[in-house]
Structure 1
């Protein structure tokens, strides 16, 4: 496996330190650093830097942290899935973040990306023939976001990427050369250490179809529907949970009854005091729906297989711990310190467990 770090001259020192620490092959520099921001131009340089004799190529962006054995982890996964595009980071508030969180709660270690959203590109490994095809496909495009064009490319091939549910790659900082700073703090959906990630990535189950996916953005809960990508807008629109619920087979009365019966008043009051009553209710319902879908997915997946149960438990904890801060509006995420995160996680777990009971009963 060969590798490269995408970077811009303003982050050259940071990128070189990352490459040195991870043992990556070199840097892929923005070919037009004084021009309009374009991650795609730099990505094309990075995907052209395939080493002689390599079967796979790993491209990492410069604003990440990762364990020192990252190359080993990626190489083993590439051996397990030699024909797949493998993604090692997912934003905690994206639809693919929702799919990863659901997969973690279901006991899966990989999940197929949804076709109606960008492909998170902070750390991606491709077979070299796929990398060559992507470069040919992307060269000359007017698109400046490599993550958006990746999804167009994968959709055309009829197979989206596989997302690693345990995230060993973490985004660092809130600045963005490519114009994403307005999204505020954006972190990994299921951050775990390399010791837990290794057996999960090597032997954990794959969730190919999670069904409808609850996700939360800017303080409100949404549902990504099955087949949404076939809609007139390519599936890019966002459906509030109330509007989408009739297409899921669940009734709103069922959700509201679960809220009335299961939401703990003391934790709800504390979350509401910090972030508002509406947010507390939206977070609880979001996690209720997650728990319900996770129970359904776990039933389809069956036995978890030869993975350490304690690693799976920590993956589930990580997924639930990010649900609260990820669901906050960007301007309020800095208010979620360790104590607030623990509070929201305890609150979220009550909803997940209530949702799991719904799933088992259906």
Structure 2
């Protein structure tokens, strides 16, 4: 689905995708931005004889393994609506990061957020029903991701999100007016060939660690998932992850000892590294509570490192600090990785290092 202003971009993408991919343009390109208006037409366009329909937006960069992995996903989840991209600075993105580090590829969407529509595949029957359901709403709604989320909540259709993503968001200005919403990139992108590990599905999370606007937070859910999420106050957050107020700066001093502020006041550096310490430690505690294997969770690959960088980038994007710290993202990520390791093992101590010498990083032995 595309806007005529991106006709050349969309044509190149269709050529790259192959499989007789067609471009569906916004029928009212001079009207107010309305992605749902174009989505209705796109989801109606199932080729004859097809069982499933994939719709991508015009500003994506597809993985070289998009079709191979999308075909496998359809074979495995033939009745499901599958999002092949999750944005890094969303609730879904934060959940996807936990899932990926825990060794999972698929997870359910966050109930109280939009359903990401940058690249979605669904059965043709469902696609036609969504188009019919959405058509009358175009005059009063504009966002296809919000509409699809409501559509799915009203039905029993299974829905899943994939991480790493099979498309990446291209660096193009938003035509729908969402350029102010922070970074638009995946949690992690499938840039390398798929491995031999099975694509596991995550059922649920005990809590959701977030790093937003330069602050670490922890989101918890109702007992049955039927109540809106709640962001814990600071004291409850610390209690949930078995951390103390003094423990955070103590751990941060060790983890980020070699990181210097590239141009701001010392207080700004202290605030950032302490919040990153709590963000990483909370991520580790949630991984532990979810039963993640520490060896799996701490395994380093390019895709996993990208997921950690996107954690930091998403949290800095709304603060105006991302450009200032861009040259030190790798150093910040190393500190967060070590905080995750500490969280997986509980409060860092010399006892923990003695019990798990193979998993506790050298930095933690200094505590």
TM category, shorter? 0.7 to 0.9
Give the C-alpha shift of residue 91 in structure 1. Answer: 1.1
Give the C-alpha shift of residue 259 in structure 1. Answer: 1.9
Query: In proportion to residue count, which structure has more helix?
Result: 1
Give the C-alpha shift of residue 350 in structure 1. Answer: 1.4
| 1:216-274 deviations in Å (ceiling 9; x for gaps) | 2221223232239744xx55xx725527638xx716x6243542443244625726556
- Runs of 4+ in structure 1 off by over 6 angstroms are 301-304, 309-312
In 2: Cα distance, 1:268 partner to 1:240 partner: 29
1:225 aligned residue (220, 243, 252): 220
Gaps of 5+ in 1: 1-5
1:284 aligned residue (277, 281, 287): 277
Residue in structure 1 matched with residue 259 of structure 2 by the alignment: 270
Give the C-alpha shift of residue 297 in structure 1. Answer: 2.1
**Cα 1:86–1:199, aligned 2, differ >3 Å: closer, same or farther?**
farther
Residue in structure 2 matched with residue 357 of structure 1 by the alignment: 345
Residue in structure 2 matched with residue 207 of structure 1 by the alignment: 202
| 1:15-49 deviations in Å (ceiling 9; x for gaps) | 11011011151001001101110000111111011
Residue in structure 1 matched with residue 237 of structure 2 by the alignment: 245
In 2: Cα distance, 1:114 partner to 1:349 partner: 25
Moved more, 205-214 or 257-266: 257-266
**Cα 1:258–1:190, aligned 2, differ >3 Å: closer, same or farther?**
farther
In 1: Cα distance, 2:71 partner to 2:253 partner: 45
In 1: Cα distance, 2:52 partner to 2:154 partner: 21
In 2: Cα distance, 1:82 partner to 1:171 partner: 26
Are residue 129 (structure 1) and residue 125 (structure 2) matched?
yes
TM, length-normalised to structure 1: 0.84
In 1: Cα distance, 2:236 partner to 2:24 partner: 43
In 2: Cα distance, 1:294 partner to 1:310 partner: 10
2:171 aligned residue (173, 178, 182): 173
Moved more, 159-168 or 125-134: 159-168
The answer on whether the counterparts of 2:165 and 2:187 sit within 8 Å (CA) in structure 1 is yes
Give the C-alpha shift of residue 158 in structure 1. Answer: 4.5
Gaps of 5+ in 2: 353-367
Are residue 79 (structure 1) and residue 75 (structure 2) matched?
yes
| 1:120-156 deviations in Å (ceiling 9; x for gaps) | 1100111112112211221211220001111111111
RMSD: 2.9
2:63 aligned residue (55, 62, 67): 67
| 1:2-21 deviations in Å (ceiling 9; x for gaps) | xxxx1000001001101101
SS of equivalent to 2:259: helix
Are residue 119 (structure 1) and residue 115 (structure 2) matched?
yes
1:1-362 correspondence runs (5 A): 6-24=1-19, 25-141=21-137, 142-158=140-156, 161-196=159-194, 199=196, 203-227=198-222, 230-231=226-227, 235=229, 239=231, 242=234, 245=237, 250=240, 254-265=243-254, 267=256, 270=259, 276=268, 277-299=270-292, 313-330=301-318, 331-337=320-326, 339-358=327-346
Moved more, 351-360 or 49-58: 351-360
**Cα 1:178–1:155, aligned 2, differ >3 Å: closer, same or farther?**
same
